[in-house]
Amino acid sequence: MGSSNLAHAETIKPRPTDLQLVALNGMFDEKDGLSVLRHALDGEVSGASIAMVSSFGADSSVLLHMVAQINPHQEVLFLETGKHFAETLEYIEIIKKQLGLTNVRFLEPDTKDVERFDPKGNLWETDPDSCCHIRKTEPLDAALKNYGGWVTGRKRFQTNDRGVLPHFELTTDERVKVNPLAYWDNEDVRAYREAHDLPAHPLFLKGFLSIGCAPCTSMVKDGEDPRSGRWRGKDKTECGIHFDVSGKIAHPTVEIGQKAMNLFKDGAFVADPWRDLKDGEALTDLDHVHIPLKTYVEQRAVIDANPRDLGLILVPGDDVDALGEDAQRFASISVAFPTFTDGRGYSYARLLRERYGYKGELRAHGDILTDQVAYLLRCGFDALTVVNEATRKALEDNNLGEVSIFMQPIGASAEVPVGTRPFLRRAK
Ligand code: SF4
């Protein structure tokens, strides 16, 4: 069978068995990428054609050069997310011309999805998993419907997560992922590029070792993991189409629209752009990360040097007065309510709002009962991350009940608490 694009007319035959894949992986020498690719594109791996997908990134020229040797008319799929560097789009034209590739197909996101979920074009910032889902996973999923699998440029050395990558992987949706360069390292790639005089991506020459969408790609420093420039500062290392070695083309575990909708703000649950600092995580390059007060006190100089939006975590026992007006440095402060009986968080909120004039987001996080919500809002909280299911349901249903009287005054309100009304004062 030749390597033409047969996929759309074919009926998919059953995928190879686990045992067949083990045998297949055993058949190929560790670095024989061209043989692996030829075997895949010639239809020898799966009952249906294997698609060629390329990011036209830093290392892509190697695989594309191999494709051109096997069949320059092979369809090459490119995910045009609408967020690429101009240099990447220029590079596609350079590569096409130099290698004689005639069939590069752009896969674009559904415009209705973009309008609905990313009307401002900043979903990459607030919810990058969902952004990748509508711009990459969905378009690729649709394009690969009738293929038996696809080729990737992934390599073992790129990250620890990819350390066990084989040439051929079974996916749980009855397909095969082919990784011809799985065993290659930087030196192999460099030597191949040099031997075949392949043009480098313009940004590679400027220190971008792994190149994806512009908002989510940054330069890599000496000694850093080559992919550390992707989604820097965010809790994300993969775009969702390569989530795990054995997984299918990944979909978020929950539907978009519910994904990470844990933050209750302005009357609705929304995607939470923030996460908490992980144990042992480096403090440089963080973005939208809540940092414990203790860490802030110990590493203030490093944290204050970061110009991005950072948040703070306050737990019962923290000294808010010691923080004082430095609270303004944080775009969000998350106050922990480990149990509903611990009310210290209310005092923290009032101190921050009333004594120190804190204007940023103030969120209550934890075991919060329905009846507490009104009091939290009254003390200055304007966001909630609720773990109590009943409270979450009440918030969703707007069924919180009304609190008509308050026994204690608050400074930031015109309310007159019970017991301080004029007639009661006169009765004293
Ligand atoms: S890499 Fe960034 S901009 Fe591109 S689709 Fe993913 S989140 Fe969006």
Sketch the domain layout of the chain as residue ranges. Answer: 7-216, 263-396
Residue 73 has pLDDT above 90, yes or no: yes
pLDDT in tens, 273-308: 788 898 888 888 788 899 999 999 999 999 999 888
CA distance 21 to 45: 9
DSSP string for residues in 147-186: -SEEE----GGG-GGGTT--SEEE-TTS-EEE-TTTT--H
- 199 Cβ inside 6 Å of ligand 1: no
Catalytic residue among 213, 216, 239, 379: 239
Instruction: Extract the tokens encoding 160.
Output: 């620890």
Please report the pLDDT score of residue 409 as a whole number. Answer: 55
| CB within 8 Å of 16: residues ≥ 6 apart | 24, 45, 46, 170, 176
Spacing, Cα 268 to ligand 1 middle (Å):
25
Please, are residues 52 and 74 in contact by the beta-carbon 8 Å criterion?
yes
Spacing, Cα 273 to ligand 1 middle (Å):
14
Atom of ligand 1 nearest to the CA of 136: 5
CA distance 289 to 274: 5
Of 14-18, 152-156, 191-195, which has the strongest mean pLDDT?
191-195
Of 211-220, 250-259, 289-298, which has the strongest mean pLDDT?
289-298
Residue 102's Cα: distance from chain center in Å? 33
263-396 has the same fold as 7-216? no
- 215 Cβ inside 6 Å of ligand 1: yes
pLDDT (average), residues 408-427: 49
Please, are residues 109 and 76 in contact by the beta-carbon 8 Å criterion?
no
Residue type, 69: Q
CA distance 384 to 376: 9
Residue 96 has pLDDT above 70, yes or no: yes
- 61 Cβ inside 6 Å of ligand 1: no
- 131 Cβ inside 6 Å of ligand 1: yes
Residue 161 has pLDDT above 60, yes or no: no
Active site residue 239: yes
Percent of the chain exceeding pLDDT 70 equals 77
Residue 334 has pLDDT above 50, yes or no: yes
Spacing, Cα 422 to ligand 1 middle (Å):
59
Please, are residues 128 and 230 in contact by the beta-carbon 8 Å criterion?
no
The mean pLDDT of the chain is 79
Kindly state the helix (H) or strand (E) to which residue 303 belongs, with its residue range: helix 300-304
Band of pLDDT at residue 243, cut at 50, 70 and 90: very low
Q: For residue 131, which of 110, 111, 114 has the smallest C-alpha distance?
A: 114
- Strands in 149-151's sheet, in edge-to-edge order, are 104-107, 76-79, 50-53, 149-151, 176-178, 168-170
- 211 Cβ inside 6 Å of ligand 1: no
Nearest CA to ligand 1 atom 5: 132
| CB within 8 Å of 61: residues ≥ 6 apart | 95, 99, 193, 198, 199, 200, 201
Choose the CATH number for 7-216 among 3.30.1130.10, 3.40.50.300, 3.40.930.10, 3.40.50.620.
3.40.50.620
Please report the pLDDT score of residue 373 as a whole number. Answer: 87
Spacing, Cα 121 to ligand 1 middle (Å):
10
Residue 152 has pLDDT above 70, yes or no: yes
Spacing, Cα 124 to ligand 1 middle (Å):
5
Please, are residues 370 and 390 in contact by the beta-carbon 8 Å criterion?
yes
Nearest CA to ligand 1 atom 4: 213
pLDDT in tens, 3-50: 334 344 344 455 677 777 778 888 876 668 999 999 889 877 766 789
- 212 Cβ inside 6 Å of ligand 1: yes
Residue 370 has pLDDT above 70, yes or no: yes
Atom of ligand 1 nearest to the CA of 230: 1
Architecture of domain 263-396: Alpha-Beta Barrel (3.20)
Instruction: Extract the tokens encoding 195.
Output: 């031997």
Nearest CA to ligand 1 atom 1: 213
CA distance 420 to 427: 11
Q: Considering all CA atoms of the chain, what is the largest pairwise distance in Å, rounded to the nearest integer?
A: 99
DSSP 130: H
Band of pLDDT at residue 207, cut at 50, 70 and 90: confident
